[in-house]
Amino acid sequence: MKKTVGIVGANGYTGSELIRLLAFHPHVTLSFLYSRSNSGTRISDLYPDLTTVCEMVLTDQPEEVDILFLCLPHKESQNWLTQNPVKEETLVIDLGNDFRLDGNFESRDFIYGLPEINKKQLSGSKSIANPGCFATAIQLALLPLAEKESLDEVFTTGITGSTGAGQSLQPTTHFTWRNDNVSAYKTLTHQHVDEILKQIVLFNHKNVSLNFVPWRGDFARGIFTSSTVKTDLGLSDIYQLYKDFYEEAPFVTVSEKAIDLKQVVNTNRCVIQIEKSGNVAVIHSAIDNLLKGASGQAVQNMNIAMGWEENAGLNLKPIAF
């Protein structure tokens, strides 16, 4: 029997991506799509790409389900759970940042949902904090070196598409502003820095300095990051380190060829490439911010928690043209 699923905040980008994925998932069925602002509206009227895929009507009345996804703005998940208690046996996956740093909430202990490092803890879990998009791309780029305790200071730049800013229209998400334009934002103060460092330090066993400069790109979706570090390891040794680290990670590919964003857009994949000159190495990583950086990873976490095949519902091909 298929498990029932509810999505809170189904009218946003991550919610609509979850609908697209779960509508074809072999082990679940959608029970309700929650939205206060668009209650009574057919989801396909908001997102025409969901026409014939999902014709459910949004509601402001949640139901009891087996699996609950929270796709709310940051800092709202905790309030929603307080006002709408769910049964203990319900699997709750939060795509916001409420529980990434402190996973304790009432009787729940949220597990940090980066499958490449926490798969064992995620198995059977009932509370999962989905990582942030930049946090996912940067951690996957740095974790193998952190495990070798090789990180001291890291300089990272990363560019993201307009969907990373959410659905609400802002001056910097207008087409006329984004088109043919690039800008830096939240330089050295991005909200994902603390999240990244918390996990990296667990592997590195010493403090790491992360200097992160995020950029806005003139495209809709995707993240490309480049992290610069100093290391005495040779390039071939670094590649072997990464290939060994991700040997059992079905959605991470370590490439010795140049990578680009189109390899990952519309997939749950992360591709990594490494370059080195002297004692300086640069680790490039690319993901789709709405999939491996959000909804796809949430489905991956659900699969692991429920004991299903990890790639169920996630066999997606990138859009190359």
Q: What is the pLDDT of residues 121-151, one digit of tens each?
A: 999 999 999 999 999 999 999 999 999 888 9
Q: What is the mean pLDDT of residues 151-176?
A: 85
Confidence at residue 169, expressed as pLDDT on a 0 to 100 scale: 66
| Alpha-carbon 223 to chain mean position | 11
Q: How would DSSP label each residue in 93-162?
A: EE-SSTTSS--EETTEEPEE--HHHHHHHHTT-SEEEPPPHHHHHHHHHHHHHHHTT--SEEEEEEEE-G
Q: What is the mean pLDDT of residues 201-222?
A: 93
- From the options 3.20.20.70, 3.40.50.150, 3.40.47.10, 3.30.360.10, give the CATH code of 133-287: 3.30.360.10
Catalytic-residue membership of 133: yes
Confidence at residue 204, expressed as pLDDT on a 0 to 100 scale: 85
Cα separations (Å) of 148 from 63, 194, 229, 232, 249?
47, 21, 13, 12, 19
72-79, long-range: CB within 8 Å, 24+ apart, which pairs?
72/8, 72/9, 72/96, 73/9, 73/166, 74/98, 74/191, 78/105
pLDDT digits (tens, 9 = 90+) for 165-195: 776 667 787 788 889 999 999 999 999 999 9
Confidence at residue 171, expressed as pLDDT on a 0 to 100 scale: 78
- Residues of CATH 3.30.360.10 domain(s) within the chain? 133-287
- Catalytic residue (choose from 54, 71, 133, 270): 133
Q: How far apart are CA 65 and CA 86, in angstroms?
A: 9
- Residues of CATH 3.40.50.720 domain(s) within the chain? 3-130+294-306
Alpha-carbon Rg of the chain, whole angstroms?
19
Reported as a pLDDT band with limits 50, 70 and 90, residue 219 is very high
Q: Does the pLDDT of residue 286 top 70, yes or no? A: yes
Reported as a pLDDT band with limits 50, 70 and 90, residue 320 is confident
Mean pLDDT of the residues in the chain: 95
Confidence at residue 170, expressed as pLDDT on a 0 to 100 scale: 75
Please, what CATH class does the domain formed by 3-130+294-306 belong to?
Answer: alpha beta
